A and B are shown apart, each in its own frame.
Chain A
Amino acid sequence: MSATSTFNPPKTQQTPFFSLIRWFFILTFNFGVIGFIYQALQLGYMQLAGVVTTVSILVNVILIFSWASPYRWMVIGLAFMILFTVYPLIFTISIAFTNYGDGHLLSQAQALEVIQRESYLPKTGKAYRWTAYQSPDGNYVLWLQDQDGQSYLVREGSAPVAAKAGDPGIGEADANGIPKSIEGFTRLNPILAATDAKLPQIKFGVEGQTIQIRSPSEAAELRPRYVYDSATNSLTDQESGEIFYAIDGTYTSRTSGKQIVPGYQSFVGVRNFSDFLQSQALRGPLLQILTWNIIFPLLSVVSTFSLGLAIALLFNDAAMPFKRLFRTLLLVPYTIPTVITILIWRGMMNPDLGIINQLTRSLLGFSPPWTSEPIWAQAAILLINLWLGYPYFMLISSGALRSIPADLYEAATIDGASSWQAFRTITLPLLLVAVGPLLIASYIYNFNNFGLIYLFIGGGPPIVGATTQAGHTDILISYVYKLAFASGGRGVQYGLASAISIVVFSIVATLTLIQFRFTNMWEEMSRNA
């Protein structure tokens, strides 16, 4: 032990060739990274720019300074670990305190830009007399005359231009100075124009110079609907005079409670967490989901371990023939990719057509409603997981059984213990010490066993009366997935989904700490390290 701790490797020798390659790599790396960060900043991805900067500084330090040379062996792995494991963790935590999600996807500046593009048609103010022309394919142009007698021609999608009757493409004037025709268009008589349903909806001109018909006699320029006051961070509706203040990422009127869409991303404190704990609608399914999330992995671990151990005990008999063949065949469920296994079982458990239901119908006269009744759906999931999971514990237990010294059993037999007593007092306690940590690891794995839940029936059957898409077999992680990615119902809610993720994180972390304590893992690690 002392020999190894005083062992000092020589400094990494560098040939000029290696050194050249290293510097070439450093230069290209920095060139690429700086370009990336620059663009990220341009697009407003501050967090992404921040983490990439941090990681690339770390990489540079490791590559440039010779004292950091041992870290060069792991620099790529470290960079990936920070980018794709540590950073998403931090990012999740930061999103959990925001309202990020449908209706709140933009930054405040972007949202204001969208809102300020909205316009309205003033009831009073500068107006034009108008005449409409229609083309054979249903397009319109307007001829406008203001109070000073100046006239304009305006089309959809291009700015109004000053024009006079008799200009190129424009016909001769009638008694009122209005052209009788415009090339490609025919003039509509006032009654036809006033009764045209489409015409008042059309916005002529371009953004910022939009003309719309206000009444049979008047057309007017649209005005921006909201005026922004940066001092109070509020928007005033020019049409109604109502003032909207920024409240939790949405401009909201304090008098009527009306809100302007879109809202923007903003910090909302612990609202997601309190929503999640207090909101009637959310809490209902949540409590149910949490309960199932605790029970499901427990039952899974108990059932897979029991069956695996039972098989291992069966084969612990030296007289057992064809051991190797049996073991190979029993291992098969473990070798099939999980996704495929679940889908196969889903087909076999189809309540109308599946083989299992055909069998139970003909043997027992009963067809279990695997997909529609909560309790049967839960049973189905446990059964599938039993099939998937027992081979693992079979392998683990048979290894552990072999390590139990045979003389313990001999002593027990001499003392007159039955084989059941020997199992209960010798085998089980010793085995549990050996596989205990693996049982906890298996619990943690199943606690987040998204694939199984999602692929079987997507967490269904649905919980009646829940406002979000929640089902009787949903666990927290599949619920998070639905909140974040499956639109419908209340839409995409990244903030809330992240908040629930954090709750799951904490549960997993607690279990892991228990596991470490249970196995004295830290001490063992420090000893081996």
Chain B
Amino acid sequence: MILLIKVILAIVMVLFALFPVAWIVSAALDPTSQLGSQRLIPPNAGLVNFEKLLSDPLMPFWRWIWNSVKIATITTLLSLSITTMAAYAFSRLRFAGRITMLKAIMLIQIFPNLLALVAIYLMIQQTGKIVPWLGLETHAGLILVYLGGSMGINIWLIKGFLDTIPRAIDEAAMVDGATNWQIFTQLLLPLLRPILVVVGILAFIGTYGEFVLARILLSRAENYTLMVGLALFTDNQFAQNWGQFSAGALIGALPIMIVYLLLQDQIAGGLTSGAVKE
């Protein structure tokens, strides 16, 4: 009896969790594409909204996806390299200020760079006057700002993982004449793969979904990331273009959702040890 109640409660919760998703799928397939006239099961379901979305000259949708994927990929790869190398040094080498620096990294990243957005904007604006390809409206400038936040909690995470790998492995290699660089690239990096996958996916998803900095630094439609594009698209005639928006939201969200659900165990493990999505 109690179990039955529990199952019913769980089903109610699942309905709460999935209703918006079901609703957006139905909106994307509903050819009338109006917010007010939508049914949960659209009468003449079709791909009209997707066709309209991808051919709309005001909304360079493929471009936005490409921008987002490009920015997120580059940021993820660079920030992973930066963090992993730093984590190696913190775990394996001994140098002055090691603990102080570890603490400082923890403290500094607590201040979200969102709070300094005025300063970041002005700084990128000024940089752009000197090096145009790093200024406002450039993806390189945005990536640099994202990378500024990469020395963070993830260093702790990877360092923690490295600390669990016995030093005997490195020492043996050192006796054989391996350099630090060889130990790092050939011995430890392969062992780090599981944690790097989790940290990398979370970093990718975080960058892919980032809105504020991209919104401030990019202001031309062809430069937008997908999140900025979708958000600004909804400023105009949201209700009329509901179907098109839904199609876009679906394309934007689905790949991430699938990756997440496939890797949910690893990601849950990463989350409990302190990784963050944002």
A contacts, CB < 8 Å to B:
4, 7-10, 12-13, 36, 39-40, 43, 45, 48, 70-71, 73-74, 76-78, 80-81, 83-89, 91-92, 95, 311, 314-315, 317, 319-321, 326-341, 343-348, 350, 352-355, 387, 391-392, 395-396, 399, 444-445, 448, 450-451, 454-455, 477, 480-481, 484-485, 494, 497-498, 501, 504-505, 508-509, 512, 522, 525-526, 528-529
Give CA–CA (A33, B134) in the complex, Å. 14
CB neighbours (8 Å) of B7 from chain A are 320-321
Q: How far apart are A360's CB and chain B's nearest CB, in angstroms?
A: 14
* Residue pair A348, B118 in contact (C-beta under 8 Å): no
Give CA–CA (A81, B181) in the complex, Å. 23
* Residue pair B130, A85 in contact (C-beta under 8 Å): no
Interface size class of B (residues with CB under 8 A): 35 or more
CB neighbours (8 Å) of B27 from chain A are 347
CB neighbours (8 Å) of B121 from chain A are 484-485
* Residue pair A339, B211 in contact (C-beta under 8 Å): yes
Interface residues of B in 204-233 (CB under 8 A from A): 205, 208-209, 211-212, 216, 227, 230-231
Q: Given the interface contacts A337-B227, A343-B234, A354-B35, does A328 sit within 8 Å of B212 by beta carbon?
A: no
Main SS at interface, chain B: helix
What are 8 residue pairs bridging A and B, where the CB atoms are less than 8 Å apart in the complex?
A45-B126, A84-B144, A85-B109, A87-B119, A92-B119, A315-B10, A333-B17, A337-B256
CB < 8 Å neighbour of A505 from B23, B111, B260: B111
CB neighbours (8 Å) of B147 from chain A are 80, 84
* Residue pair A73, B149 in contact (C-beta under 8 Å): no
Give CA–CA (A485, B149) in the complex, Å. 22
Q: Taking the complex as formed, is B85 at the interface, i.e. its CB lies under 8 A from any CB of chain A?
A: yes
* Residue pair B14, A83 in contact (C-beta under 8 Å): no
* Residue pair B272, A335 in contact (C-beta under 8 Å): no
* Residue pair A395, B271 in contact (C-beta under 8 Å): yes
Interface residues of B in 45-103 (CB under 8 A from A): 82-83, 85-86, 88-90, 92-95, 98-99, 102-103
Q: How far apart are B115's CB and chain A's nearest CB, in angstroms?
A: 5
CB neighbours (8 Å) of A485 from chain B are 121, 216
CB neighbours (8 Å) of A319 from chain B are 3
Interface residues of B in 96-142 (CB under 8 A from A): 98-99, 102-103, 105-123, 126-127, 129-131
Q: Given the interface contacts A88-B116, A89-B116, does A336 sit within 8 Å of B123 by beta carbon?
A: no
Taking A70-B94, A336-B21 as known contacts, 16 extra A-B pairs with beta carbons closer than 8 A to each other, sorted by chain A number, are A9-B92, A78-B151, A84-B123, A88-B113, A88-B120, A88-B123, A92-B115, A95-B119, A329-B17, A332-B18, A339-B230, A352-B239, A455-B231, A497-B118, A501-B116, A512-B107
* Residue pair B18, A525 in contact (C-beta under 8 Å): no
Q: Taking the complex as formed, is B268 at the interface, i.e. its CB lies under 8 A from any CB of chain A?
A: yes
Q: Taking the complex as formed, is B195 at the interface, i.e. its CB lies under 8 A from any CB of chain A?
A: no
Give CA–CA (A391, B17) in the complex, Å. 9
